Amino acid sequence: MELCTRTFTSFLLFNPSFSPNSVFLRANPNATTPLKFNSLKLSSFSPHVHLFQPFLSPHISSPFTLSAAASASSSSVAVGTEQDRLPAELKVTETEEPNSRIPGFRPGKKVPENILISYVGSQNVQKATIESILRRTLSHAMTSVTGRALQDSVQIVTKFSEMEETYSSLGSLRYDVLVDIAPEIKWIPDNNAYKNLKIVVEIDSDIDAHRASEQEFRRRYKSIGALKVVIDRGLQVGDVAVLDISATTIDQDESNVKSIPSAESKGFNFDTEYGEQVLPGFLDSIIGIQRGESKSFPLVFPETWKQENLHGVHAQFTVECKELFYRDLPELDDSIADKLLPECTTVEQVKDLLLQKCLEVEQTAREQATDNAILDQISKIVEVDIPKSLFEEQGRQLYGANLLEIQAKMKLNEQQLATLSSSKAVNEFLEHQKENITNLIKQSLAVGDIYKRENLQFATEDLVKEVENSIAEFKRQNQEYDEERVKGQVQEILEGAKVLEWLREHAEVQYITK
């Protein structure tokens, strides 16, 4: 999909004395110039924020490049108190300072223009004239895209030296302004593609509420028991063993045998009740091992193993049992209910409350998985020509969020932070996360488009409440904030949540357990 590239050239003509009293604007649609897009930053104000971050404004418009031209005489500059009649609201404050006068003239006496120019220098006067024209004309050159140009996206691309040369030779000034606005999106195969989606959502078996609540109950029960040393027997299921584990590859050529660091560990605390979480066959191979004993055995990493480089690898393990414990658990009756969960009086009450909590977690996980699947689906049915600057802006925001998370967890020093903040580190992140960043942008633009097409709305009181909560959080963290920007970001998040709610209601969703 190609972006629409329209150019507006604005000519602002000044009288020869460069008085601001005679100014008019005309527009001429002509040339084309590549565009940029300046995106908005997203903060966390909603439970669904992780689905959109970074989030874009839903107000879609077309890209523009503006050119402004002004003519004026470089030989004369009006330095008076005439009222500026440009259609702009200006507030000027003048402060008198000592010694701010030209030698040979009393304070307050009007200095002849030729003497003033001679003293200041004609080149400096010309530079000041060009700067003044830019200040006075830029906002008026932008009137054709008022309401569509994104905040902080205006860039004068004409070099100042080129402006000086043109002004000196022709007595006129022309400059090009780059304005960033959101790209348009195209739905595939048509504008109704997002309606009645068919979504398959994979649910992790670990979030099953009943299974999770049983595991949590067992964990709490074991936590109130005492670990005691096993003396007269070998390892049994239910015991806790402290193991030293080493592993090497199996190869007929001994020179090719290599250690497998990711499978090795010293002082590994192995709770045998969770034997299904380790390599298949590992627990069975060490059953009966006693304290101080070692065992060696071969195992094969399955093709489903999380580390791809170990898929199908034949390994020889050597395990030494350093310590061996069993749990001395109390009688499982109502007398220990409050130890399992404070303020509970019966074991059944504990189980019921744990199940209720796990059901809430399961529901949240299902909703998040559904939202992620929907967003993934809509990113596949939209086409959008993403400007490079938009990609880089969103990528840097994502990288910045990751860096803040790392900093909070690891407390990086200044040197580490500087390294991770370098252009090289950021560019590597942009390259490695190219597909992910692209999908996030497509999702955000698609969500904004749906909100607009379906005329969705949210309650004003929700906006007020979320803004207040967000500002209160900024204050608690002693962080600076822009209230208007916070309001805009909260509004975008609420709009996005509304779109996901609408899509869930209109989609055909199938859940499968993985």
* Rounded CA separation 30/48 (Å): 44
What mean pLDDT do residues 248-265 have?
87
**How far from 457 is each of 468, 495, 502, CA to CA, in Å?**
20, 7, 11
State the pLDDT at residue 206: 75
What CATH number is given for 8-15+192-206+346-513 in this structure?
1.10.3120
State the pLDDT at residue 466: 93
71-128 pLDDT per residue, tens = 443 333 333 334 445 444 444 454 554 544 455 556 666 777 777 777 778 788 888 8
Q: Is residue 496 pLDDT above 60, yes or no?
A: yes
Domain boundaries, the chain: 8-15+192-206+346-513, 113-180, 226-328
Q: Are 299 and 315 in contact (CB under 8 A)?
A: yes
Q: Is residue 8 pLDDT above 60, yes or no?
A: no
Q: Which two tokens stand for residue 409?
A: 């967890």
State the pLDDT at residue 48: 31
State the pLDDT at residue 479: 81
Q: Which span out of 284-288, 385-389, 411-415 was modeled with the highest average pLDDT?
A: 284-288
**% of residues, the chain, pLDDT over 70:** 78
State the pLDDT at residue 107: 63
* Rounded CA separation 207/501 (Å): 22
Higher confidence at residue 325 or residue 140?
Answer: 325
Q: Is the pTM of this model over 0.85?
A: no
State the pLDDT at residue 202: 87
Cα–chain-centroid distance for residue 221?
41
Instruction: Provide DSSP, 452-489.
Output: HHTT----HHHHHHHHHHHHHHHHHTT----HHHHHHH
List the beta bridge partners of residue 6: 64
406-415 pLDDT per residue, tens = 887 877 888 8
CATH architecture of 226-328: Roll (3.10)
Cα angle vertex 265, ends 263, 268, to 5°?
A: 120
Mean pLDDT of the chain: 78
State the pLDDT at residue 44: 29
439-478 pLDDT per residue, tens = 999 999 999 999 999 999 999 999 999 999 999 988 988 8
Task: Name, in order, each residue with C-beta under 8 angstroms of 128's C-beta and a sequence gap of 6 or more.
Answer: 77
Higher confidence at residue 287 or residue 142?
Answer: 287
Judging by DSSP bridges, how do beta strands 382-384 and 185-187 pair with one another?
antiparallel
State the pLDDT at residue 330: 94
State the pLDDT at residue 463: 93
What mean pLDDT do residues 287-293 have?
95
Q: Whose CA is closest to 351, among 364, 360, 341?
A: 341
State the pLDDT at residue 204: 81
* Rounded CA separation 406/398 (Å): 13
* Rounded CA separation 91/395 (Å): 38
Q: Are 319 and 245 in contact (CB under 8 A)?
A: yes
Consecutive H or E run containing 209: helix 209-223
State the pLDDT at residue 104: 55
Cβ–Cβ contacts within 10 Å for residue 24, how many? 9
State the pLDDT at residue 5: 32
**How far from 479 is each of 93, 252, 411, 475, CA to CA, in Å?**
31, 62, 18, 6
Half-sphere exposure of 207 (CA within 13 A, CB side): 17
Task: Name, in order, each residue with C-beta under 8 angstroms of 494's C-beta and a sequence gap of 6 or more.
Answer: 46, 458, 462, 463, 466
Q: CA dihedral defined by 488, 492, 493, 495, rounded to 10 degrees?
A: 130
State the pLDDT at residue 331: 94
State the pLDDT at residue 333: 94
State the pLDDT at residue 186: 93
State the pLDDT at residue 109: 66
* Rounded CA separation 60/458 (Å): 19
State the pLDDT at residue 11: 34
Name the residue with tokens 């078996």.
Answer: 205
State the pLDDT at residue 119: 74
Q: Which two tokens stand for residue 214?
A: 């049983």
157-190 pLDDT per residue, tens = 889 888 888 888 888 888 888 877 777 889 999 9
Instruction: Provide DSSP, 479-505.
Output: ----HHHHHHHHHHHHHHHHHHHHHHH
Give the chain's radius of gyration (CA, Å).
Answer: 35
**% of residues, the chain, pLDDT over 90:** 45
Q: Whose CA is closest to 316, among 254, 246, 266?
A: 246
State the pLDDT at residue 41: 30
Band of the pLDDT at 335, cuts 50, 70, 90? very high
State the pLDDT at residue 45: 28
Q: Are 514 and 205 in contact (CB under 8 A)?
A: yes
Task: Describe the crossing of helices 209-223 and 347-380 by its angle, rounded to 10 degrees.
Answer: 130
